[in-house]
């Protein structure tokens, strides 16, 4: 790993902020690095307010979207709420449909089948709308590239409102309204909302003429926070405010479906990390293993006992998903070893019977082992479908753009994308992708980087220091949990490898003459046990460990040298 110390903010600014906030200089240093340089900025950061949630009508086409929905309600039209099968899509569909049902009876939901229809707006979905007398489709977390599909719907007299957050192409679909802050001519103040976040802006706008205020929409924020966490969008600006209040809803009064999942995991107070690793995978498992409808039914279920039954079924899907994901990862790793001569800068693997629902997870697993841009392909009908994942700093979406001649369809983000191609183009694509990565990637990016906020002595870690760090949550991209470096620490002699296969490292570390030790856990660092015989350096985040009802500060080791 590369340890990179972040640049030092101006000393005068750090000292003034430390004085104004009555905090130590390390805290002020970390805040200034994040652009929080004044008392007022710090107040807004530590105490997010619902007032920071923007006026939804600042988004291009919002008035058109609201007018069309109001017309549909006035004319008693049937409205179909359509969304993708992942967490962002299913939470968005659950959110928008559950709100619309409070103001209009003729609402149905539609999640495309991952296997029969694939990602995004589908012809099958449009046919379903037409055959069942739906004259308006609201597409969530998809649609920004559905030029032909929206035109097809138009021929069948089915209108479209698109709510998306993916990168637009050169052409925008001819829908009634396109809500996407990433459009060049959209001046909405924040362009990093997730799909569910865009759906939230839509219902917020619909509420304004009904004299509803932002407080009326807080109960929906458990869904928005779950989508923000799962979709790994930047945790700053409006997203951080939405996630902050959404976490409060998750912990105090979640909807039945989320409550049923928490009930199964036996967690008490959930952090955004818990949402990423416990709630999101279970919601995702429905779309991966069975059908995304299960997730929507769970998240919109009004009866708690029924929600518990849905959650139990989804728990089984999740267990199956884990088994599959491990099996496919092992097979893919063998392929990478066999193809070592061909691929130095990327990993591209394919097997026709791999389960389409887990190839995205497998791609992420492969990056943990071989840190480079990765694509995992499987057979999907008469085409091959892939999930692409990238490494920090490399735009895989742009790399795929350069390989367009061999691709049928693709879409996504800088770090995660999906594509389909014809089987006869696979080898040519694989070769071209490797060439593009080799030519365009900064070779440094092929070694994982740990970005260190500050170097500190262990003696600086007091309960007050830890409490302030905890209040910087929710953490995520653009607001990561602070990472610290401490040098010349020692283990008290009881360090050991832990876990079923001894892959983790458990230490009690201290520094210099100060004999106060800190419990430390390093996941995946078991093989570094040999480094702890003498002095060593560590990079870590601070965490809370609970054991027999007692809480203590724990170091979450990221690396040691």
pLDDT digits (tens, 9 = 90+) for 79-95: 999 999 899 999 999 99
Token pair, residue 356, equals: 């389409």
pLDDT band at 435 (very low <50, low <70, confident <90, very high): very high
Both 162 and 213 in a single domain? yes
416 assigned to some structural domain: yes
**What DSSP line would sit under 97-111, residue for residue?**
HHHHTTT-S-EEEE-
Instruction: Taking residues 320-329, report their average pLDDT.
Output: 92
Both 421 and 499 in a single domain? no
Instruction: Taking residues 211-238, report their average pLDDT.
Output: 95
Both 209 and 179 in a single domain? yes
Supply the pLDDT for residue 500: 87
pLDDT digits (tens, 9 = 90+) for 390-434: 999 999 999 999 999 999 988 888 888 999 999 999 999 999 999
Both 300 and 407 in a single domain? no
Peptide bond into 474 cis (omega under 30): yes
Both 131 and 276 in a single domain? yes
Does the structure show a pLDDT above 90 at 339? no
Does the structure show a pLDDT above 90 at 14? yes
Number of domains in the chain: 3
Both 442 and 456 in a single domain? no
Q: Collect all residues with Cβ–Cβ distance below 8 Å to 471 and sequence separation of at least 6.
A: 46
32 assigned to some structural domain: no
Q: Which domain holds residue 459?
A: 2-8+452-560
For the ranges 94-108, 283-297, 373-387, 504-518, the lowest mean pLDDT is seen at 283-297
Exposure pattern of 284-323 as b/e (b: 16+ CB <10 Å)?
bbbbbbbbbbbbbbbbbbeeeeebbebbeebbebbebbee
Both 210 and 280 in a single domain? yes
Q: Which helix (H) or strand (E) holds 19?
A: helix 11-21
219 assigned to some structural domain: yes
Supply the pLDDT for residue 432: 96
Both 391 and 480 in a single domain? no
Q: Which of 248, 181, 190 is nearest to 221 (CA)?
A: 248
Both 438 and 463 in a single domain? no
Supply the pLDDT for residue 285: 85
383 assigned to some structural domain: yes
Does the structure show a pLDDT above 90 at 321? no
375 assigned to some structural domain: yes
pLDDT band at 78 (very low <50, low <70, confident <90, very high): very high
CA separation (Å) from 432 to 115, 350, 420? 27, 16, 15
CA 383 to chain centre: 27
Supply the pLDDT for residue 62: 98
392 assigned to some structural domain: yes
Residue 176: what are its φ and ψ, rounded to 5°?
-60, -40
- Which DSSP symbol is given to 460? G
Q: Collect all residues with Cβ–Cβ distance below 8 Å to 85 and sequence separation of at least 6.
A: 111, 112, 113, 114, 287, 291, 292, 295
pLDDT band at 202 (very low <50, low <70, confident <90, very high): very high
| Domain finish residue from 397, 421, 446 | 446
For the ranges 114-118, 149-153, 426-430, 551-555, the lowest mean pLDDT is seen at 114-118
pLDDT, greater one: 349 or 116: 349
Residue 410: what are its φ and ψ, rounded to 5°?
-155, 160
pLDDT band at 53 (very low <50, low <70, confident <90, very high): very high
Supply the pLDDT for residue 57: 98
- ∠ CA 216-221-223, rounded to 5°: 135
| Domain finish residue from 411, 446, 481 | 446
Supply the pLDDT for residue 114: 80
47 assigned to some structural domain: no
Instruction: Give the separation between CA 198 and CA 477, rounded to whole angstroms.
Output: 19
| Domain finish residue from 313, 329, 349 | 313
Supply the pLDDT for residue 357: 84
Instruction: Taking residues 209-228, report their average pLDDT.
Output: 97
Both 489 and 396 in a single domain? no
pLDDT band at 548 (very low <50, low <70, confident <90, very high): confident
CA separation (Å) from 180 to 149, 169, 188, 192, 292? 18, 12, 9, 10, 23
Other C-beta atoms within 10 Å of 102: how many? 11
Both 81 and 179 in a single domain? yes
Supply the pLDDT for residue 168: 92
Q: Which helix (H) or strand (E) holds 419?
A: strand 416-421
For the ranges 24-38, 45-59, 88-102, 342-356, the lowest mean pLDDT is seen at 342-356
Instruction: Taking residues 335-353, report their average pLDDT.
Output: 89
Supply the pLDDT for residue 17: 97
Supply the pLDDT for residue 427: 95
Does the structure show a pLDDT above 90 at 77? yes
Does the structure show a pLDDT above 90 at 383? yes
Supply the pLDDT for residue 267: 77
pLDDT digits (tens, 9 = 90+) for 164-182: 999 898 999 999 999 999 9
pLDDT band at 13 (very low <50, low <70, confident <90, very high): very high
Alpha helices by DSSP H, 339-379: 359-369
Supply the pLDDT for residue 51: 94
Q: Collect all residues with Cβ–Cβ distance below 8 Å to 509 and sequence separation of at least 6.
A: 458, 489, 490, 491, 492, 517, 518, 520, 538, 555
Instruction: Taking residues 273-300, report their average pLDDT.
Output: 87
Instruction: Taking residues 430-443, report their average pLDDT.
Output: 96
351 assigned to some structural domain: yes
pLDDT digits (tens, 9 = 90+) for 491-532: 998 899 999 889 999 999 999 888 789 999 999 999 999 989
Supply the pLDDT for residue 209: 94
Instruction: Give the separation between CA 549 and CA 266, rounded to whole angstroms.
Output: 15
The CATH number given to whatever domain includes residue 204 is 3.90.1640.30
Q: Collect all residues with Cβ–Cβ distance below 8 Å to 295 and sequence separation of at least 6.
A: 85, 87, 90, 94, 111, 283, 284, 286, 287, 314
CA separation (Å) from 483 to 84, 448, 450, 480? 35, 15, 8, 8
Supply the pLDDT for residue 523: 94
Both 527 and 379 in a single domain? no
Does the structure show a pLDDT above 90 at 374? yes
Does the structure show a pLDDT above 80 at 266? no
Instruction: Taking residues 256-282, report their average pLDDT.
Output: 89
Instruction: Give the separation between CA 166 and CA 534, rounded to whole angstroms.
Output: 50
Does the structure show a pLDDT above 80 at 268? no
Supply the pLDDT for residue 115: 77
């Amino acid at each position: 790993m590369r340890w990179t110390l972040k640049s030092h903010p101006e000393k005068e600014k750090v000292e003034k902020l430390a004085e104004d906030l009555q905090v130590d200089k390390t805290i002020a240093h970390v805040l200034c690095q994040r652009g929080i340089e004044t008392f007022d900025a710090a107040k807004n950061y530590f105490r997010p307010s619902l007032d920071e949630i923007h006026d939804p009508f600042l988004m291009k086409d919002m008035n058109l979207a609201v007018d069309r929905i109001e017309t549909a309600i006035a004319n008693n039209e049937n409205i179909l709420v359509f969304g993708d099968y992942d967490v962002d899509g299913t939470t968005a569909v659950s959110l928008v449909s559950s709100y619309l049902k409070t103001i209009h009876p003729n609402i149905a939901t539609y999640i495309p089948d991952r296997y029969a229809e694939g990602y995004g707006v589908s012809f099958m979905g449009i046919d379903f709308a037409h055959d069942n007398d739906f004259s308006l489709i609201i597409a969530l977390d998809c649609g920004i590239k559905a030029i032909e599909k929206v035109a097809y719907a138009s021929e069948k007299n089915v209108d479209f409102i698109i709510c998306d957050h993916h990168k637009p192409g050169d052409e925008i679909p001819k829908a009634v309204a396109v809500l996407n802050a990433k459009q060049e001519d959209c001046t909405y103040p924040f362009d990093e909302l997730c799909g569910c976040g865009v759906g939230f802006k839509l219902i917020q706008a619909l509420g304004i003429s009904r004299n509803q205020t932002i407080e009326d929409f807080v109960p929906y924020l458990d869904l928005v926070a779950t989508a923000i966490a799962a979709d790994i969008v930047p945790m700053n600006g409006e997203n951080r405010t939405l996630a902050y209040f959404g976490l409060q809803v998750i912990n105090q009064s979640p909807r039945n479906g989320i409550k049923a999942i928490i009930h199964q995991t036996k967690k008490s107070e959930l952090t955004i990390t818990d949402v990423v690793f416990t709630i999101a995978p279970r919601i995702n498992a429905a779309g991966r293993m069975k059908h995304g409808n299960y997730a929507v039914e769970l998240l919109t279920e009004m009866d708690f006992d029924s929600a518990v039954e849905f959650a139990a079924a989804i728990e089984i899907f999740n267990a199956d998903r884990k088994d599959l994901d491990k099996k496919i990862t092992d097979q893919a790793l063998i392929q990478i070893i066999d193809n070592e001569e061909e691929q130095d800068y990327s990993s591209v693997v394919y097997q026709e019977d791999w389960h389409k629902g887990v190839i995205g997870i497998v791609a992420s697993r492969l990056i943990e082992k071989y840190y480079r841009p990765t694509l995992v392909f499987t057979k999907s009908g008469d085409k091959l479908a892939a999930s692409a994942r990238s490494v920090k700093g490399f735009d895989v979406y742009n790399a795929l753009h350069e390989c367009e001649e061999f691709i049928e369809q693709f879409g996504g983000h800088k770090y995660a994308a999906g594509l389909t191609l014809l089987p006869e183009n696979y080898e040519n694509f694989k070769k071209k992708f490797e060439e593009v990565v080799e030519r365009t990637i900064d070779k440094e990016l092929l070694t994982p980087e740990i970005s260190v906020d500050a170097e500190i002595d262990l003696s600086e870690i007091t309960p007050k220091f830890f409490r302030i760090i905890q209040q910087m949550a929710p953490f995520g991209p653009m607001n990561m949990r602070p990472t610290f470096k401490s040098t010349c620490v020692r283990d008290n002699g009881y360090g050991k490898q832990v876990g079923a296969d001894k892959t983790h490292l458990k230490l009690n570390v201290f520094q210099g003459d100060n004999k106060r030790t800190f419990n430390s856990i390093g996941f995946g660092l078991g093989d570094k046990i040999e480094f702890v015989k003498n002095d060593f350096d560590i990079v870590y985040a601070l965490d809370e460990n609970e054991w027999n009802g007692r809480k203590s500060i724990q170091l979450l080791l990221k690396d040691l040298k």
